[in-house]
Amino acid sequence: MGRFIVTRLAWSAMIIVASSILVFLVLRVLPSDPVLARLGASTGVDPDVIARLRAEAGLDDSIITQYLSWVGGVLKGDLGSSYASQIPVAQIIAERLPVTLELTFLAMLAVVLVSVPLALAAVFRGRSTADKAIGFLTSLGISVPLFVVSLILILVFASTLGWLPSRGYVPFIEDPSENLKLMILPVASLAFVASPLLIRHMRESMSEAESEAYVRTAVGKGAVRARVLLQHILRTSLVPTLTMLGLIVGYTLAGTVVVEYVFGLPGIGSLALEAALKRDYAVLQSVVILIVFMFVATTFIVDIVNGLIDPRVRVGAQHG
């Protein structure tokens, strides 16, 4: 187990380092200049001012020096300052992170609460109407892009029925009920897109388990269908389900870029988008690496949990 954890940890660290280098290089190698972007279209700015701003932002150093000083700062918790507003990046992220974490948490909760019962219902009766209906809904859900779901939900529940607000954010501590009300549509959008993936995956892995000998043995010994399903089949599909759930956390984090923008939530997804639009590389690179980190950390945790549940996972990883 120890060796398994170390290999997974090394792999995770490698991905984070590799993507940090990639992000940094892509943002540096190109001609678009963040200082000029900050000054905007105003012409006739004193070249000395531009030179001073460039030096302040550290843009005159070599790329390697810039990268190392950024990484060094990140390790110390200093992410530099925004090119646009001069506010420390760490402070901006700290203000915005809770929104995204709440959104992701609620979305995952919704995904699990919707998917597990539906997947069980689909498998319970085999090839029934319920199974077909769920199959149709999941393939529909997979065809619809996230932002389209958000738009449809706004059209129906906000602008036509007027039941729910379509934009805005209130911190949970200030007004819990208003906060949750504002979260309903964003969470529903994310869950609508992510649930089909989990349902489909669970359904496949459960029908696979169903044809295994031990399930037939259990049925042959007279176990009730519900018991076979919950005790034998659901348990075997736990590892693939958890793996998929880990991936879904990643998709959901990525989805916050879109959802936070559409619903006007001040999280790190919309922060990344604003930074990309403003060419504020100091903010963009740190937010992107943070998202990558959260994604990789989730995968890592899922791998370790899977290794704990199923010894074949950790042994297989060592030999593969």
Residues of the shown chain interacting with another protein in the complex, contacts defined by CB under 8 A: 14-15, 18-19, 23, 26-27, 29-30, 32, 127, 139-140, 142-148, 151-152, 154-155, 159-160, 211, 213, 216, 250-251, 253-255, 257-258, 261-262, 272-273, 275-277, 279, 281, 284-285, 288, 291-292, 295-296, 299
Buried-exposed string 1-21: b where 16+ CB fall within 10 A, e elsewhere: eeebeeebeeebeeebeebbe
- Whole-angstrom distance, CA of residue 83 vs CA of residue 70: 14
- Min dist CB 295 to another protein, Å, is 7
Non-local CB neighbours of 308 within 8 Å, separated by 6+ positions? 1
Task: List the beta strands (DSSP E) in the chain.
Answer: none
Task: Report the nearest approach of another protein to the CB of residue 216 (Å).
Answer: 7
Q: Distance between CA atoms of 106 and 103, rounded to whole angstroms?
A: 5
Shortest reach from residue 248's CB to another protein, in Å: 11
| Beta carbon nearer to another protein, 110 or 284 | 284
How many angstroms separate the CA atoms of 3 and 136, rounded? Answer: 43
SS3 at position 311: helix
Report the alpha-carbon distance of residue 149 to residue 154 in Å, rounded: 9
For another protein, the closer of residues 116 and 240 by Cβ is 240
Measured from the CB atom, is 29 or 75 closer to another protein? 29
CB of 254 to another protein, least distance (A): 3
- Nearer to another protein (CB atom), residue 110 or residue 292: 292
Q: Minimum CB separation from another protein for residue 291, in Å?
A: 5
- In single-letter form, the type of residue at position 258 comes to V
Nearer of residues 19 and 69 to another protein, judged by Cβ:
19
